[in-house]
A and B are shown apart, each in its own frame.
Chain A
């Protein structure tokens, strides 16, 4: 009998270790906040070009993360990208806020930055943010610089 209890304890310890490892992977290695995707309200915004923005990218106000990108699709009528943002319920933003796509660092991940406006009314579920500033596309900027350099060279 003694033998079999040791065996059971060993198996118990093994299973506990395995679950602890899973728990560590969930809590310490990944971000558990993905789990409690707290309910928020959805706001749409149009961009001419979303660049490398992805679903689940961060939405920030003043650098603080307040939500994430819910979906990105193409608006056939406006011929623009339509990005749906999910913003935490307790974050209230003036209805004339504007949105821009920024890049974290020079080559980092892209995220949506919201710039609060000054209106008295607040954004609510289903609203559309009127002002959407497109992503900076590195190739376009390089192209522009090269082009202006070439133009300078031509006048001299």
Chain B
């Protein structure tokens, strides 16, 4: 019983310790950002590796998610004689929810895990401490550019996901199932609001980008510098990103759309 209590206490303490360290780490990274203005190349390189290389998975998944939405939505809406509203349904579900959330989950799996593994391996092979020896702050040189790049790339990926998804829904709805072309777009334009829907989706994706990259770079930086430690950190990145994104999504949705 006592050992159980002690175990619980230790787990709680280490949880709070990690939480505190994560936030201090974030502050340090944010403090290291102004220096990046002098070296935009570092950021561009990272945007390539987290953004451009994630493009394929985002575009393909977006297309299929949109197509599935078109198929599923059509069958349900046709029961109510409202098949023309398919465009509204596809666009709203993508722009408000699926675009930011699924893009963030994919981003966590594709780019976040890569970031963690890269930084963790740099730590394990003592590249980070090597930089410190040369009086180069690894937080500024390695972490900050990756953080900024993820922060920039994520909203763009989410927007691409939503746009491709709408096109996928259009292919299935109009091309395959014979929904009226004009009604598809006009109902969508009438019901989707630029501020309430599109902008809120963008705000969501910005928040998710922030959280997902933060988790990824922190887990990498905090990893136990062994092969096993890096692999654990990578797993944690994917799991924590998914949990954080879904939890945050509920909070943001309640704030934005709950009246």
Cβ-based interface call for B4 (8 A): no
Q: Is the CB of A24 within 8 A of B163?
A: yes
Cβ contacts under 8 Å, A18 to chain B: 51, 155-157, 159-160
> A13 — nearest CB in chain B belongs to which residue?
B52
B166 contacts which of A17, A26, A29, A56 (Cβ < 8 Å)? A29
Cβ-based interface call for A130 (8 A): no
**Contacting residues of chain A (4-20) with chain B, CB-CB under 8 angstroms:** 4, 7-8, 10-11, 13-15, 17-20
> B201 — nearest CB in chain A belongs to which residue?
A25
Q: Is the CB of A30 within 8 A of B194?
A: yes
Q: Is the CB of B163 within 8 A of A25?
A: yes
Cβ contacts under 8 Å, A10 to chain B: 48, 52
B202 contacts which of A11, A22, A24, A32 (Cβ < 8 Å)? A22
Cβ contacts under 8 Å, B155 to chain A: 18
Cβ contacts under 8 Å, B164 to chain A: 21
Q: Is the CB of B192 within 8 A of A14?
A: no
Q: Chain B CB within 10 Å — which of A7, A25, A32, A56 has the most? A: A25
Cβ-based interface call for A150 (8 A): no
Q: Chain B CB within 10 Å — which of A7, A14, A15, A32 has the most? A: A14
Cβ contacts under 8 Å, B159 to chain A: 18-19, 21-22, 25
Shortest beta-carbon distance from A74 to chain B in Å = 17
Q: Is the CB of B156 within 8 A of A21?
A: yes
Q: Is the CB of A31 within 8 A of B193?
A: yes
Interface SS of B by simple majority:
helix
Segment with Cβ contacts to A, from B12-20, B71-79, B182-190, B217-225:
B182-190
The number of residues on chain B lying at the interface, defined by a beta carbon within 8 Å of a beta carbon of chain A, is 33
Cβ-based interface call for B47 (8 A): yes
Q: Is the CB of A31 within 8 A of B189?
A: yes
Cβ-based interface call for A1 (8 A): no
Knowing A22-B202, A28-B185, A29-B189 touch, does A11 contact B194 (C-beta < 8 A)? no
User: Considering the chains assembled together, what is the distance between the CA atoms of A21 and B197 in angstroms?
Assistant: 15
User: Considering the chains assembled together, what is the distance between the CA atoms of A155 and B192 in angstroms?
Assistant: 52
User: Considering the chains assembled together, what is the distance between the CA atoms of A28 and B194 in angstroms?
Assistant: 10
Shortest beta-carbon distance from B191 to chain A in Å = 9
Q: Is the CB of A15 within 8 A of B156?
A: yes
Knowing A8-B44, A17-B156 touch, does A29 contact B192 (C-beta < 8 A)? yes
What are the 6 A-B residue pairs with the smallest beta carbon separation, nearest first? A18-B156, A21-B163, A21-B159, A30-B192, A30-B194, A21-B160
14 A-B pairs with C-beta separation under 8 A:
A8-B44, A10-B52, A11-B44, A13-B52, A18-B155, A21-B156, A21-B163, A25-B95, A25-B201, A29-B162, A30-B192, A30-B197, A31-B192, A34-B195
* Sample of 6 further A-B pairs with CB below 8 A, known A11-B48, A14-B47, A25-B166: A11-B52, A18-B157, A21-B160, A25-B201, A29-B91, A31-B193
